Every structure is written in structure tokens, then in C-alpha cells.
Chains A and B, each alone.
Chain A
């Protein structure tokens, strides 16, 4: 922790920082931390007594581990696809000479956020269903003669989730790219690096903080996704949040739901820790 004055940038003392952050901390504490912490004692209750039964049950029944693993796998796919699709968009938005065009791109990225997830998922259902837009189009062109099943499978879930998560990947990368010191790039080119080499050696490594936050946002939010897999997926895309929902709403076993949630939370923390070990998040965020 550096509390010294350095250059012209002001550094706040710890007390000042806490004071500045206190409204948010209080809000998070009441509406997030307390409910979250109350999950733990809840998950350790079985028929009114302290017991690890719900955790045993999670690991004894093959269903839960299997679904947890699938959830992580789908979240990872979504993250990778979002990165591959989002980076070029962020890059062109940041380096486009035409301001109007790059603003237009920004609007296109933001626009889906003014529509609810439910509506967007239903829109994908309209597009992908048996007599939907894609199938009718392909049939009218004569490319296929029978409608394909595009809905209620993993592909549909991935499409829907990537659509929703893309801005979470694009925006952090864009912000970092936008604020890169262009002189570094000029220096690289000046010293004889090709455009590709300059990108690989200079731009991309410097954009890693943005990539890091984008990946974290996308991955963590994807782990808990509920509506989109439920609407666009089928039995083979059953994810962990659906199991939690079943326990809460239909089977009324809040203790077990608590145990699944705690395990999901711990898994998320472990995955982030592993990610941190490999990529080095703290290194990324260092000035």
C-alpha cells in the first residue's frame, strides 16, 4: 500500500479511502454480505440440528458434481468466445479514426442493455425455433429441406449467453485500449516493428488489465446464469443455478440450496485464485 504523495496524483489515506467508500460498503454489507454469510449456518442445518449432511449429499450424489463441472465448462466457453469476439470490436472502437462511427459502434454495444434479459432470450427463441427466422430463410433458399433443431441445446445457450455477456468483455478492454499511451506504439513502429509485431509486443500486453477484468466479469456472471439456459437450453444444459432454484422454490429445502450455493461460491473463489496464479491479476493491475 502506497500512501505517499507521488507526482501530481493525490493518494488518499486509508481512513479517507474508507470514508469515501462507506456508502457502498454499508449497502453491500446489508444487502449482500449479511445474506451471503447467513447462507453458511443455514447450509449446516439438517432437521433443526447442526450437520454436514447437505455437503455429504452434494458429493454422494453424482448429479451435483457433474452439473457443477458442466456449469464451469459452459461459463468457460462463453468467456473464451466473448474474448475472441469482443477484443476486435474493442480494438476497432478504440482506434477508429472516424469518431462518429466509433460512437455508433459504442451505441450498438450498449443498446442490448436497454432490453431485459428475458426479452432478449425470447428473441433468440423466435430466431432459432423450428419455424423461426433462420430455418425459414435457409429453407426458402433451398439450402436445407427440413428445419434444423437449433433451440434447446448447448449451442443455443452459448449464443444467448455470449450475446448478453459481450459488453462485459468489450467495455473494460475498450477503456484500457483507449487510454494506452500511443507514443509507445509509435516508438515500436519507429524502431522497425511491423504492425502485427507492435500489436503482439506492445498493444496486447498493455491491454491485459482490461482483458483480465473482462474475463472475470464474464466468467463469474456466467457461472450463476439462470434465465437464458432455462429458456434456450434443454436437459443437457441444466446448470447449477437451476438446481438451486428447484430446491428453493419447489422442494423447499433451503438448507440444501444454501449448501449448493456455498459450494458454488467456493468453487468460484478457487477458479479465480487459479486464474490469478496463472495470469497474475495483481501484476496486471500494477501501475
Chain B
């Protein structure tokens, strides 16, 4: 009897422990009012590694200010809000979020205004790189890629129209489902004959009508870059709307795919300074450092994403130069998605677009 009671106690203890272990994020951090180093939120993985090597380490070498990169997963916004509420600023800089999210953060009072007296080297950057709430650091391109085994030379798709044409270009496809689907719906509208400047504000009915036709053929709705690369490597899909960085890394890993630059576009990823940071001045200096073309070239060599400073292309090995969207040959074929007509609409309507998209895709 005694033994079984002990057993019972042991098991209920274990169950309690198991329930506790279910919380995904066990981090617990103490308040830090003052510190002598800059904490930068990164996206981890290879991207984080590229940021360390190209920017953080050389910055420390030059200025003596230590920089620590921390990975935040996908919970940047939530964490920022929590930091402001508790007045416990754990990060000084957030890196590479899109304009629509940064604008939201800024409007909520989570971000400092950039001090352009310190960050005085933005003249060479791409248009719309220098915002009041952040400075663009790299661009993430969205482009069409296709499998060269399925579509040999002469039969290859050339535009988004071909992506939606299942009769002439049969086979499973991939598209992203990681939030912010304004680009997907705009691509559908471009395939339907609109120019980029005509896409916004979105005509939902028309866009979803085009999407309805392709839905059964989208085999992979990827929610991470790694998932996209895997689908391209496994030849699980014959075509994909992909990010250029991931497409390039799939190619370098041996995937038989080609990028269609026609109609491709890019977003800028910005670095922003968190409101209330004790390291504001130092953070601004790091923002300035990130604009240097030679540092951006190191970044591109590691991760494949193009820097926001077109001059960085000169510092790249010749074989890499051609595949950058800021290369003189490509720069006129690609466009900045956040400078098309009515781009502000996309910033103002993220919630509604997300909701409509979820409603459509969940069924």
C-alpha cells in the first residue's frame, strides 16, 4: 500500500513536470538598465552568422564596442511590446523586418527615430532605404523559379502568367504561407494582366478568383525558407514563387532550378533601434557601419542576399555579381515592392489582408 502511494505521488509529480515542460519558451531574463554592449535581435541560422561576420565582429574590432546577436524566432513584435510594457529593454537593435511591420512598431512607439547626424552615409543606398524608423540593410527578392528537368530550354516559363497556366505548364507548385500575403495576391493580379502599379489597393475578388484556379496545384505552402529549399532540392515542385536568397542557396546545393528575373521584385529589410535603449548612440553607429559596401559584400558572400548599397556589387567575386538584383543588368528588371503605386495601402492593411488570406487558405 505504501509503495503504491509513493508510486502515485511520483507519477503526479512527473505529470506536473511534463505539463511545465510543454511551454516552448523557458527564457527568463533579469532587468538590465545599463550595459556596455549592443544586443541585436537576429533571425539566427546562416543569416545570423552572416550578420556576425560582416557587421558585428568588424564593428567591435574598429570601435571596441561589443555586439551580441540573439535569435528571437518569429516573436519579434510580441517581445518588443513586452519590453516596452515592462520598460526592460533587452534588445538595442532589431534587424531586417519589413516596412509594414516596422511601421506598426513605430506607430506603437517601439522604435527610436534614426539620428541621421550620426548615420550620415545613406546617400549611396537604394531609394527609400533611409526611413525615419530604420535603415535598409539588405533586400529580399521574390521571383519565379522553375525546374530545368521539367521545363527544358525553349519550354521554360517566362512570367507569373505561366505559373498560373496549368494546361501548358503542368506540375505541382510552391508558394509561401508565412504571413504578409499581399505579394502573393499581387502576383496573381499581375498574372491576370495588371501592372505592378495597378495591383494596390488589392481587388480581393479578382485576386482570389485567380488563386482559386491554382490552389489544387500548390503542393507546398512553405512557411520557412528551409522548407522551400527542401522542396526544390527534392524536386517535389516544378515551379515556385521563391525568395531569391533561398533560390540561390538551393542552386548552390545542386537543385536543378533557374530564376526568372522578369517581373521579380524585392522588399527591403531594415535595421531599427529599439525605443528607450541605453545604447542609442552606439546603436546608431552600428547602423551606419552596416551601410558600408565592403561589409555588405561580405554579408552577400555568406548568405546570398543582396545588400542595400548597390556599390557593394563591386566588392563581390565576378561570378556572384551577375546574380545580384542591384547589378546594372538586373536593376531595371526588378522593382521595389514598397515603392509601387499606393504602397502605403499595403502597410495600412496588413491585418485585413492576413485575415482574408487565412479565410481563403484554411478551407
Contact = CB atoms under 8 A, between A and B. Distances in A.
Given A66-B362, A167-B18, A235-B361, A175 B77 contact: no
A236 B362 contact: yes
Q: Is the interface of A mostly helix, strand, loop or mixed?
A: helix
Interface in B214-242: 219-221, 223, 230-231, 234, 236
A226 B23 CA distance: 10
Given A171-B14, A175-B8, A246 B354 contact: yes
A178 B6 CA distance: 13
Contacts of A226: 24
Nearest to B16: A24
Interface string A106-126: 000010010011100000000
Nearest to B104: A252
B77 A248 contact: yes
B24 A117 contact: yes
A235 B221 contact: yes
Contact of A230 (B14, B19, B223, B231): B223
A85 to B, nearest CB: 18
B362 A175 contact: no
Given A118-B24, A168-B15, A250-B179, A130 B75 contact: no
Q: Is the interface of B mostly helix, strand, loop or mixed?
A: helix
Contact of B77 (A149, A174, A252): A252
A192 interface: no
Contact of A67 (B221, B236, B362): B362
Contacts of B101: 250
B351 interface: yes
Interface in A155-185: 167-168, 171-172, 174-175, 178-179
A131 B350 contact: no
Contacts, number: 98
Interface in B4-26: 4, 7-8, 11, 14-15, 18-19, 21-22, 24
A12 to B, nearest CB: 16
A106 to B, nearest CB: 10
B203 interface: no
Interface in B304-353: 350-351
A66 B359 CA distance: 9
B358 A238 contact: yes
Contacts of A238: 358, 361-362
Nearest to B24: A227
Contact of B15 (A70, A217, A235, A236): A217
A110 B14 contact: yes
Contacts of A131: 234
B361 to A, nearest CB: 4
A49 interface: no
Contacts of B351: 251, 253
Interface in A35-69: 61-63, 66-67
Interface of B: 4, 7-8, 11, 14-15, 18-19, 21-22, 24, 74-79, 81, 101, 104-105, 108, 177, 179-180, 219-221, 223, 230-231, 234, 236, 350-351, 354-355, 358-359, 361-363
30 contacts: A61-B359, A63-B358, A63-B362, A66-B362, A70-B362, A117-B22, A117-B24, A129-B234, A130-B231, A130-B234, A130-B236, A171-B15, A175-B8, A178-B7, A179-B4, A217-B15, A234-B177, A235-B177, A235-B221, A235-B362, A236-B362, A246-B179, A249-B74, A249-B78, A249-B79, A250-B77, A250-B101, A250-B350, A250-B354, A252-B108
Per CB-CB distance, the 5 closest pairs between chain A and chain B, nearest first, are A249-B78, A235-B361, A63-B359, A248-B78, A249-B77
Given A62-B359, A130-B231, A238-B358, 13 more contacts: A61-B359, A63-B362, A67-B362, A70-B362, A131-B234, A167-B18, A168-B15, A172-B11, A175-B7, A178-B4, A249-B77, A249-B78, A251-B350
